[in-house]
Chain A
Amino acid sequence: MSDVADRVKKIVIEHLGVDESKVADNASFIDDLGADSLDTVELVMAFEEEFGCEIPDDAAEKILTIQNAIDYISANS
């Protein structure tokens, strides 16, 4: 679980270029971390690659925060 969280946060930090201190579990990609809609698509692509899973569009739309991503990946990979 913590492993998934660490890897998710690492991807977010690298992709959005945000400071580690801002990457709280409940942080919203768009509202708190300055992502635009294209960034959220790219983050999902990066998660898919990192965790070797496929995230369907309807699930991807619901991944809005760090915690959403951790929960989905933990449950599906």
Chain B
Amino acid sequence: MFDLSGKRALVTGASGGIGGAIARGLYAQGADVALSGTRADALEALAAELGSRAHVTPARLGEDGAAEQLIQDATAAMGGVDILINNAGLTRDTLAMRMKDEDWDMVLNVNLKSAFQLSRACLKGMMKARFGRIISITSIVGVTGNAGQANYAASKAGLIGMSKSLAQEVASRGITVNCVAPGFIATPMTEALNDQQKAGILASIPSGAMGTPDDIGAAVVYLASDQANYVTGQTLHVNGGMAMI
């Protein structure tokens, strides 16, 4: 089940904890994988760990032309892109009253605008192939909001609206467009929290544990598979029951 042999996947933000797990998950199911991110050394290390079907395609998303160039690079490396994983994202957290335009623009550009640009650049090939998967990694805070993250939450909510619109445009061509919304996932970022903070978070999660990056990878693998061909415009929440939407 969930055989991805012969499929070509591009994963942005692949040098991060969740992006790396997504790339490993797709690779394990047989897909060719192009690893994108800003840190070429981390991508090279991941590619070496995975094997010959992994390719390194660094990009600085948010800069002019970077998204289109990345699709060209991934196409050159693999021959096409059947599965696009919009996972690249960053935060510039602060209370709205202190949030500068630059904080807003940077987060929206990288998290949302580049995801749109990448999706647009992939669609032509997917339409011709009558197959495609666009999966954007959004966040629980895109639905629930979170103090200090007006920009980040807006970008993540934007991914959901964008995906629903794209899904309607291209559903008749065998292309599905979905989101995966992680809750609290154990990554280096959450490792920095102190015990009291962790206890506070865990108290709000019915399953009583943080998720792992592999939990997100598994959700992505499902949505990328042929078995999910009737699922489009959806957001799959992977959060241990923290929010039931």
Which residues of A are at the interface with B, using a C-beta cutoff of 8 A? Answer: 36, 38, 41-42, 45
Contact = CB atoms under 8 A, between A and B. Distances in A.
Which 7 A-B pairs give the minimum distances between C-beta atoms? A42-B127, A45-B124, A38-B169, A38-B172, A38-B173, A45-B128, A38-B170
Interface string B139-169: 0000000000000000000000000000001
A interface, over-half SS: helix
Given A36-B172, A38-B173, A45-B124, 8 more contacts: A38-B127, A38-B169, A38-B170, A38-B172, A41-B127, A42-B127, A45-B127, A45-B128
B36 to A, nearest CB: 25
A39 to B, nearest CB: 9
Interface residues of B, number: 7
Nearest to A46: B128
Interface in B191-233: none
Contacts of A41: 127
A45 B205 CA distance: 49
Interface of B: 124, 127-128, 169-170, 172-173
11 contacts: A36-B172, A38-B127, A38-B169, A38-B170, A38-B172, A38-B173, A41-B127, A42-B127, A45-B124, A45-B127, A45-B128
Contacts of A38: 127, 169-170, 172-173
A73 to B, nearest CB: 19
Contacts of B128: 45
Contacts of A36: 172
B71 to A, nearest CB: 16
Nearest to B124: A45
Chain B CB within 10 Å, residue with most, of A36, A38, A41, A42: A38
A8 to B, nearest CB: 18
A56 to B, nearest CB: 14
A36 B172 CA distance: 11
A29 to B, nearest CB: 16
Nearest to A49: B128
Contacts of A42: 127
A36 B128 CA distance: 16
Contacts of A45: 124, 127-128
